[in-house]
Amino acid sequence: MNDNEVMQRLLQVGKEEARELFESFVTRAAREAIFRVALEEVDALCGPRYERDREAPCYRAGSASSPVYVRGKPEELTRPRVRRREEDGGSVEVFLKTFKVAQDPQSWEEALMAATLCGVSTRDQQRLHPEELKGLSRSAVSRLWKTKAEEVAEEMQTRDLSGRPVLGVMLDGVRLADGLWVVIAIGFYVDGTKEVLGFAVGSSENTEVCRDLMGKLHRRGLQTKPDLRLLAVLDGSDALKTALLEFFPDAVVQRCLVHKERNLRGYLPKKYWSELAALFKRLRRAQGREAAEVAREEIRVFLANKNQQARDSFEEAGEELIAFHCLEVPSTLNTTFLSTNCIENAIKNLRRHIGRVCRWRKETDQAKLWVGSGLTLAQKGFRKVRGHKDLGHLEKALQRQESKEAAA
């Protein structure tokens, strides 16, 4: 079953069967990766296959079954055999270093995961060139990952942003460990594409860390078109809002409705949650300012006799709850710009890939490497904004008033 057939099958089966099918696919891919890297090591030792080189110190000597660890379980795999010529005319078997790594469950899984994180697909292991296999040890592939992770993280953090004005940004923070946070920025463009702009690592989601991120993005050239305001979608963090407005003082700030609903649920008994969800669903689907104000008032009336803290939390958001609605753009764009789900999904993928980190070393660049490589991989799955054909309306709505008057 090829990759396309696997994807089609995954879409047709139930949850349990899909899980088993996916695990089988991952196992097969891991086996292929081990075998491909082993073949490259054999080529490095013996020369290209079918091109006999009598000067080479080693030669191919068939194959044998050998156990390796894939996803924590032992698997039998065909191991190419290599022998080294001795001065006395005899020969001794050379045990491939690739299989030494693969027979250590922790070493190989970390290496495979690391290679995936930095963009080396299991079908493209040729990137691990023979010269890179020389002197391979248990930690060699990890060192290779670190080199490549440094490259992708550095590229993400230094890429010039001045050549492509953004239409909007989405900012959010994620906790990696006690005293270790990362704040992430995603940019949206008028053609519907989006990308990770950068990130900042700090001890918390405080103003200084957020200001550091925004300052770096600004110095790298982050900007909108000269006549446009910036649309910013935030989760309600005062630190993020403060840092953002320092660099884009007239930005249109939209509060994430999903975060606000989640916050209000924390103040209300569970018996009210379904009704609250229905009211917020109506607000998220509202078209334009008038409909949004009606939906917001319904939530206000609903909370009137429920809980004072809930009412205070709701009122605290103010006009930021309907800032996007006030732009009077098609509701086809509501799904993307009324919540921080886009960045939450990227964070979810990031968490999946950093889940094996048992201990974060705050004194090193460990967090930068893992976050940078993880976000690079997550970004590969980005799709265009839903309703992107209507982004031209949003661009017009974000024009500064003076620009509109001049155009008129």
Per-residue pLDDT of the chain (408 residues; tens, 9 = 90+): 555 554 555 455 565 666 666 666 666 777 777 777 788 888 888 888 767 667 788 888 888 888 776 656 677 888 889 998 888 888 899 888 777 777 765 554 455 544 544 444 433 333 433 344 344 444 555 665 677 778 888 888 899 999 899 999 999 988 888 888 899 999 999 999 999 999 999 888 888 889 999 999 999 999 999 999 999 999 888 999 999 999 999 999 999 999 999 999 999 999 999 999 999 999 999 999 999 999 999 999 999 988 899 999 999 988 999 999 999 999 999 999 999 999 988 888 888 777 767 788 888 888 888 888 888 888 888 889 999 999 999 999 999 876 555 555
| The pLDDT of residue 402 | 64
| The pLDDT of residue 311 | 92
List beta partners, residue 6. Answer: none
By C-alpha distance, which of 383, 342, 350 is closest to 168?
342
d(CA 399, CA 172): 25
| The pLDDT of residue 125 | 38
What are the residue ranges spanned by the domains of the chain? 3-155, 162-407
How many CB atoms are closer than 10 A to CB 70?
A: 21
